[in-house]
Amino acid sequence: MTQLDYSAFPLWRPIIADGHFQTLAEAMETFFRVAVQPTCSAIAAELAQLPRTGTNSEMDRWEDLRTVQIATHQSFALAIGAAWERGLREQMHQAAIILVKDQPDGFPDRIKRGDLKSIRKNFARIRGFELDLVPAFREVELLYHVASAVRHGDGRAADEVYDMRRELFLGDGVRTGWWAYFAEGGDSPKSVKRLDISLEQLETFKNAVVQFWRFLADIPRAHID
């Protein structure tokens, strides 16, 4: 692993709320261990016991559970993304109140709203560097768009995910639920119905979020050292 040069970052002005960075990372590790991994593994094990060919009833059971699997994995991606976003907004809100001078009226409260573009802009204003410099942020950015797509359905967020990681979407000819009998090939390639987040991808998202929080926790320590 490449050693990070923390001196390249502006001097971090610590606040009490920074103490939560490590606990946010630990909470995400716990959530994945006790909820995400066991649930996804149990569904996969059940799915493996069902035949993909056979009577209509047998195929229906496989297709319906496969649909549940896709929806469950999407829901976990949303949960991981929502936890990251909420944690970051809360941290930025506290930091804005304490650190930003000559701020416009209502600035700290506006941090709790807005899209990723506004999060980037506000973070840079508060902390003095771009979020893109944080290791693993590229994967966290993808997670943000995945969570938005799951939350809002087909639209701009789903298009963003498709443009970033097309391989996350199922192609034609891959059955993903009972509706496939009637609509397979009829949905947009960018449809959220086709967004298939594997357990491995969920773990990648979790690792990126954990790395994100631990990096922010390490900056002030590195500067002190």
Q: Is the pLDDT confidence value at 2 over 60?
A: no
Q: pLDDT, tens digit, for every residue of 129-157?
A: 999 999 899 999 999 999 999 999 999 99
pLDDT of 104 reads 66
Q: Which band of pLDDT confidence, cut at 50, 70 and 90, is reported for residue 167?
A: very high
Query: Quick one: pLDDT at residue 96?
Result: 86
**Nearest CA among 198, 200, 96, 87 for reference residue 144:** 87
What value does the mean pLDDT take over residues 121-127?
A: 90
The conformation of residue 184, written as its DSSP 8-state character, comes to T
pTM of the model: 0.88
DSSP H stretches of helix in the chain? 20-31, 37-48, 56-99, 107-110, 116-127, 137-152, 156-164, 180-183, 199-224
